[in-house]
Amino acid sequence: MRLARQGKLCTRISANTRPRQATRANAAAPFIPAQVSEIVEPAAQAMAKAMKRVPITIPTMPGQPALETAFVGPTASELASYPPDVPAVVLLHGFDSSCMEFRRLYPKLAASAPTYALDLVGWGFTDYSLFKSEPGRVIRPEDKAAHLRAFLQAQCARRRVVLVGASLGGAMALDFAVTYPEVVEKLVLIDAQGFIDGIGPMATAPRPLLWLGVKLLQSVPLRQAANKMAYFDKGRYATEDAMRIGRLHTHLPGWEDANIAWMRSGGYAISSKIGQVKQEVLVMWGRNDEILEPSYAARFEQTLPNCRLRWVEQCGHCAHLEQPE
């Protein structure tokens, strides 16, 4: 069963009542690094052109900073064209990735539901300058949840949402659903992380060691190795272009500082919360995932009170990229 065919979970109105969201502009957004010119894939270029930033205040962080928050989503007029009871679909990417991770799935969903691909604090193309200027800051899971809540209040305050979380984005979605259950109608988890708590000893490592680890994370050899692990059909999808897309946001100033700020928090530890999620959850899992064991899919099915499991055959860790149909 492929992703876009699970539409009944995301929305209940017929396609001919919905406007198509714009996905192109004349040029890439001005905050996108210049290396975007090296990217070939049309879907990635379209996301870069459609991306925008809005200031969103994060109330849980010291000083309540307003971060320029990157996302791809409908304009106010497009959103107003949908019936008010239709939920918004919010796409949450994995660890140190960006909303461009949803470049193939986003336009399919955006054609039939108000859809947002979002970069929460510390990742993607959301502004990192705060963490570069104040390197002692920490980004906690509750800050990401508060950022998402504030974004939803600003962009689609009167709508309930369907959260779609891929990999670590699944942990974000689960954590948010427990923290703000009144906002979330349903969840879709794509090869989600949820049962591995924390990031281990790196959380308390000295800053110079963390800096070296982050620079390794940015390196081409490591990115290409992770790229190959992500797919079942490596020859078709684990390309140099895919690696450049996945690495593009790391060229933004302050990227290293923001990653260190996240690592110092210790990361997500939500395994004990998973059973508290009461919303309907669709778990989708690539049968050939090499990053997270497929056995985790069965654990979600056993632990979540209201869960359906769908296997994606001949697919790796990133069904939204490998089989977005």
Hey, which residues are catalytic here?
167, 289, 317
For tokens 């290293």, name the residue.
Answer: 256
Element (H, E) at 311: strand 307-312
The strand pair at 52-57 and 66-72 is best described as antiparallel
Report residue 162 as tokens. 């369907």
- What is the number of other CB atoms lying within 10 angstroms of the CB of residue 111? 15
Element (H, E) at 108: helix 106-110
For tokens 């985790």, name the residue.
Answer: 296
Contact (Cβ atoms closer than 8 angstroms) between residue 39 and residue 241 = yes
Contact (Cβ atoms closer than 8 angstroms) between residue 52 and residue 125 = no
Strand order in the sheet with 115-118: 52-57, 66-72, 115-118, 88-92, 161-166, 184-190, 280-286, 307-312
Residue (of 62, 90, 69, 101) closest to 261 by Cα position? 62
